[in-house]
Amino acid sequence: MKDKLFYTINEVAEMLELPASTLRYWEKEFSNLKPHRTSSGIRRYTEKDIDFLKKILYFTRDCGYSLDGVKKVLKIGSQQYLDPTYELTATLNEMKAMLLDMKSQLEKQN
């Protein structure tokens, strides 16, 4: 990641393997998820926004929390609830995305 300052909703959705509609819904559910919007209303996600989305995704997908559960965990402080493998899982997911990107670039060249 860290190539750009801002990412579109479609880029983030692809990165996290989620539909864009899920990201829009999570914006309504989590008050501290407020991506910058251009004058034409296009969402621009920062690294901070993406990190927050990754936490939500981790707690929902990997830990099985409901969105209400995620809100409680984040309110209390996620560190005491984090699985020790969280950092490893996040790193592996980033590596997977990078490898898939490389694969698609190689396929385009052939």
Per the domain annotation, does 63 fall within a domain? yes
Q: pLDDT confidence of 82, banded at 50, 70, 90?
A: low
Per the domain annotation, does 51 fall within a domain? yes
Per the domain annotation, does 59 fall within a domain? yes
Residue with the bigger pLDDT between 76 and 45: it is: 45
Instruction: Please provide the average confidence, as pLDDT, over all residues in the chain.
Output: 86
Query: Sign of dihedral through CA atoms 33, 39, 43, 46?
Result: negative
Q: Is 70 helix (H, G, I), strand (E, B) or coil?
A: helix
* Segment 49-75, tens digit of pLDDT: 999 999 999 889 988 889 998 888 887
Which of these, 67, 33, 62, 65, lies nearest to 49 by C-alpha position?
33
Q: pLDDT confidence of 83, banded at 50, 70, 90?
A: low
Q: What is the pTM of this model?
A: 0.68
Domains contained in the chain, number:
1
Per the domain annotation, does 38 fall within a domain? yes
Per the domain annotation, does 1 fall within a domain? no
- Within a 10 A sphere around the Cβ of 95, how many other Cβ atoms? 10
Q: Domain containing 39 — which CATH number?
A: 1.10.1660.10
Look up tokens 């980033």; give the residue.
94
CA distance 7 to 74: 24
Rounded to 5 degrees, what angle do the CA atoms 80, 98, 57 make? Answer: 30
Give the structural domain span for 17: 9-109
Per the domain annotation, does 60 fall within a domain? yes
Per the domain annotation, does 2 fall within a domain? no
Per the domain annotation, does 20 fall within a domain? yes
Look up tokens 């005491």; give the residue.
80
β partners of residue 62: none
